[in-house]
Amino acid sequence: MKLLATALTVIALAGCAQRAPAPRPLRTSGFLDDYTVLREGGPGEVRHVYRNPDANWARYSKVLLEPVTLWRSGRKSLEPVPKEDMLRLVEDFQGAVRARLGRDFRFVERPGPGVLRVRLAITDADASDPVLDVLSAPRGTGRPHPAGAGPLDAETRRFLESAVIEGEIRDAKSHVLLAAGVESRRSGASPFRTWAEVDQAFAFWADRLSTRLEASGAR
């Protein structure tokens, strides 16, 4: 489970070093403010990463988590994918991050000292397109998804094979970029077939994210 499983390593950037520029152009959605700082990741890292060498992770104990979003090139670009599936993806992704980070970090709603601003998105868009559509994770709908933990829709599976995960962490007060990354599906990776597999991947990498932030000194 590599696509969405590795999503959260986008912001779990312990041990990343500056690397040579990526050998091929990186497709960008426009979600990140600056793609030029990204470098090709090494073994065990996401495909393209950035880590601010001057970041003082020990000063951070709170998180301002922005709503997870899904970026697409216009409303019709993913028309075959059920909208309820796209909304569930961003909602489940966000829920897993909040559940795990909430054990060790205090969530806040406003920038301030010691606050990390975390942004995450699932993207299938091209920044050069004239129209971009953004879906945000809903809050408190309370409606169960019809599929439960069962099989994914065929179009949803195809979408997950090409989707990209993007994320960044900034100092919430100064807006200084601390870490960023972009991850896409690895060749030969086993496809997701059920919602249970997707949710297990979210939970696993949310745990890994929290562990790595703690190892960096943030908590």
What pLDDT sits at residue 169? Answer: 93
Q: What is the CA radius of gyration of the chain?
A: 17
pLDDT digits (tens, 9 = 90+) for 47-66: 888 999 999 999 999 999 99
Q: Is pLDDT above 70 for 139? A: no
What percent of the chain lies above the pLDDT cut of 70?
Answer: 81
15 phi-psi bin (left φ>0, alpha ψ -120 to 50, beta other): left
Who's near 9: CB < 8 A, 6+ residues apart?
A: 45, 46, 181, 183, 205, 208, 209
Name the phi and psi angles at 39, rounded to 5.
-125, 155
What mean pLDDT comes out for the span 98-113?
94
The pLDDT of residue 128 is 83
Measured at the alpha carbon of residue 96, what is the angle toward residues 95 and 102, in degrees to the nearest 5?
Answer: 85
β-strand partners of 151: 194
Largest CA distance in the chain: 47
Q: Higher confidence at residue 194 or residue 139?
A: 194
> Taking the CB of residue 127, how many other CB atoms lie within 10 A of it?
15
How many angstroms separate the CA atoms of 166 and 138, rounded? Answer: 19
Separation of alpha carbons 87 and 80, rounded Å: 14
Average pLDDT, the chain: 82
Residue range 95-104: average pLDDT? 91
CA 25 to chain centre: 20
Taking the CA of residue 33 as centre, how many other CA atoms within 13 Å lie in the half-sphere pointing to its CB? 10
Provide the 3-class DSSP secondary structure of residue 141.
Answer: coil
Beta strands 62-65 and 177-184, pairing class:
unpaired
Distance CA 93, CA 183 (A): 15
The structural domains of the chain, with segments of one domain joined by +, span: 5-216
Asked whether the predicted pLDDT for residue 187 surpasses 80, the reply is no
Tell me the average pLDDT across 82-108.
92
* Residue 189 confidence (pLDDT) above 80: no
CA–CA dist 121, 98 (Å, integer): 15
Paired strand residues for 134: 71
What pTM, to 2 d.p., does this model score? 0.81
Residue entry with tokens 């028309």 = 79
Given this model, what pLDDT does residue 138 score?
67
